[in-house]
């Protein structure tokens, strides 16, 4: 077997059963990284010596526990090589989040998620590229350079977990851990033809993730979540079970049991579908993939209906998501940095208007945003009383040719403000805190992958995983980019 073309859970089973050693799996991935990573720049830190040391230790541990009963004590990712988003602390390695002032910052301990993955037996190959402070859906780092899309080097890799998505798609890593406050695990999964999970808000702790900046007050307390990118739903579930739960650092993380994922059949599913929303109309290719996927589910026996919460105000929801994000992001900014944006409230760009609204750090307005957030959360939760999942686009179109943030994003021949268009479909699940899973569902006419997201009820991650497994079985296998087949 070629370890680079196996999923993480299949590798774990092969290592556990003795059909493959961790050294073989790790060496295979390191050799592939050495051969292919340079042009796409997915990994920006490769810890070859550390990975091989951990792989040898994993093989020794398996040898000591040889036999089915003793091997039962091995972790669910025992000996499996994986990658970590550069924004997470990995003990002894740099953590910069591509922020030049942190270029020499070396982590002194593992982030909670990294420590849990190590305890589950994972071998860390290295760290993957991000845009500065994880604040873009292109991955262009001032410290590490640009990550290229796995399907077309001229197009965006997505972001902010762009390096990780490309690493998984190009078969440089079977599993990546990322973060998402506005689509940062979901849009790169969509752009590169892989799977991703944004869990329920506050299910997974973010201790050791930058931003927030080391040594400064923690301000990111709403909407930011942490989850896996992989090449199967099974891998998403395995990773979530490892990293979920309180850690004693992030007080918001609740001790809510994940529970078993529900074994479902197509006829068990009730799926609501949104083909396009009123903020940004999707491309014809994206609409076709939504239609084809809805038909695929319906033909298999699922109850499929075009529906959305009654009275849902998409524009107000986007404004509230943007304002809440910026209130947290700007909370520690001095007045001298905020004051120049006081006057842009009449801009045609919704992002600029949000920047102006939040610049004064008005506490009453901050709580008003939270009140409106509560209302839209109740609205969407109530809507999902009648459905197992809500199917919709991840992004308005397939991966676009890389461009400047100051340039409009053109979709279906129409120009839209860059950040507004890039978050028009991902923002909602962050605002409501609901879990969302991306699956590769089709292709554009240019041969670029198009993913769709399934969103479920808060704390309903297990049932959502069950629904995603049903759709996964109806779809072709996770695609391989032609250059990396």
Span 406-456, pLDDT tens digits: 999 999 999 999 999 999 999 999 999 999 999 999 999 999 999 999 999
Judge residue 219's burial from the number of C-beta atoms within 10 Å of its C-beta, 0-12 exposed, 13-18 middle, 19 or more buried: middle
CA distances from 111 to 54, 223, 404 (A): 18, 19, 32
Which pLDDT value is given to residue 261? Answer: 86
Query: Residue 308 is inside which H or E element, if any?
Result: none
CB distance 88 to 111 below 8 Å: yes
Which pLDDT value is given to residue 70? Answer: 56
Q: Which of 138, 170, 169 is nearest to 154 (CA)?
A: 138
- Indicate left, alpha or beta for 460 from its phi (over 0: left) and psi (-120 to 50: alpha): alpha
Which pLDDT value is given to residue 39? Answer: 97
CB distance 45 to 93 below 8 Å: yes
Token pair belonging to 60:
């020794």
Place of tokens 């799926």: 271
Give the separation between CA 368 and CA 332, rounded to whole angstroms.
Answer: 20
Q: Which of 123, 125, 163, 173 is nearest to 4 (CA)?
A: 173
CATH superfamily to which 3-300+391-484 belongs:
Amidase signature (AS) domain (3.90.1300.10)
Contacts of 258 (CB under 8 A, 6+ apart): 203, 240, 241, 244, 461, 462
CA distances from 457 to 263, 326, 421 (A): 17, 25, 25
Q: Which of 142, 191, 137 is nearest to 159 (CA)?
A: 137
DSSP state of 252: T
Query: Residue 116 is inside which H or E element, if any?
Result: helix 112-119
Please state the domain extents for the chain. Answer: 3-300+391-484, 308-386
Q: Which residues are catalytic?
A: 85, 160, 184
Which pLDDT value is given to residue 66? Answer: 65
Which pLDDT value is given to residue 187? Answer: 98
DSSP state of 434: -
CB distance 216 to 194 below 8 Å: no
- Indicate left, alpha or beta for 463 from its phi (over 0: left) and psi (-120 to 50: alpha): alpha
For residue 421, report the phi and psi dihedrals to the nearest 5 degrees: -65, -40
CB distance 107 to 92 below 8 Å: yes
Instruction: Give me the residues of the chain with pLDDT under 50, please.
Output: none
For residue 221, report the phi and psi dihedrals to the nearest 5 degrees: -120, -5
Which pLDDT value is given to residue 262? Answer: 84
């Amino acid at each position: 077997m070629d370890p680079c073309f196996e999923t993480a859970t299949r590798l774990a089973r092969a290592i556990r059963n003795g059909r493959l050693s961790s050294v073989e799996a790790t060496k295979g991935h390191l050799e592939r990284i050495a051969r292919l990573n340079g042009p796409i720049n997915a990994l920006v830190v490769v810890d070859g010596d550390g990975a091989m040391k951990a792989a040898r230790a994993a093989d020794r541990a398996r040898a000591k526990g040889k036999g089915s009963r003793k091997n039962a004590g091995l972790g669910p990712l025992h000996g499996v090589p994986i990658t970590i988003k550069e924004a997470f602390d990995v003990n002894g390695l740099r953590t910069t989040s591509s922020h030049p002032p942190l270029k020499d910052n070396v982590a002194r301990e593992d982030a909670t998620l990294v420590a849990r993955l190590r305890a589950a037996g994972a071998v860390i190959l290295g760290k993957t590229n991000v845009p500065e402070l994880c604040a873009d859906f292109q991955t262009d780092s001032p410290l590490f350079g640009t990550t290229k899309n796995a399907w077309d080097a001229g197009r965006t890799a997505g972001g902010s977990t762009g390096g990780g998505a490309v690493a998984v798609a190009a078969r440089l890593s079977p599993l990546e851990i990322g973060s998402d406050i506005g689509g940062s695990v979901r849009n790169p999964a969509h752009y590169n033809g892989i799977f991703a999970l944004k869990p329920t808000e506050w299910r997974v702790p973010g201790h050791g993730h930058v931003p927030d900046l080391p040594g400064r007050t923690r301000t990111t307390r709403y909407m930011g979540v942490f989850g896996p990118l992989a090449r199967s739903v099974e891998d998403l579930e395995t990773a979530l079970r490892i990293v979920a739960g309180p850690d004693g650092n992030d007080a918001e993380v609740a001790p809510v049991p994940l529970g078993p994922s529900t074994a479902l059949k197509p006829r068990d599913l009730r799926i609501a579908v949104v083909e396009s929303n009123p903020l940004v109309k999707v491309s014809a290719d994206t609409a076709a993939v939504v239609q084809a996927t809805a038909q695929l589910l319906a033909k298999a026996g699922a109850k499929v209906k075009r529906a959305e919460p009654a009275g849902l105000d998409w524009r107000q929801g986007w404004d509230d998501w943007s304002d809440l994000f910026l209130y947290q992001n700007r909370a520690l900014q001095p007045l001298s940095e905020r004051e120049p944006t006081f006057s842009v409230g009449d801009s045609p760009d919704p992002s600029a208007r949000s920047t102006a609204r939040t610049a004064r750090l008005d506490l009453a307005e901050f709580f008003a945003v939270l009140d409106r957030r509560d209302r839209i959360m109740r609205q969407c939760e109530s809507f999902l009383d009648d459905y197992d999942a809500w199917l919709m686009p991840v992004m308005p179109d397939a991966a676009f040719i890389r461009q400047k943030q100051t340039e409009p994003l053109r979709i279906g021949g129409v120009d839209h403000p860059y950040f507004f268009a890039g978050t028009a479909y991902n923002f909602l699940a962050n605002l409501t805190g609901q879990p969302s899973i991306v699956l590769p569902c089709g292709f554009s006419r240019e041969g670029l992958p198009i993913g769709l997201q399934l969103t479920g009820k808060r704390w309903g991650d297990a049932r959502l995983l069950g629904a995603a497994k049903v759709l996964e079985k109806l779809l072709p296998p996770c695609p391989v980019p032609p250059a990396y087949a």
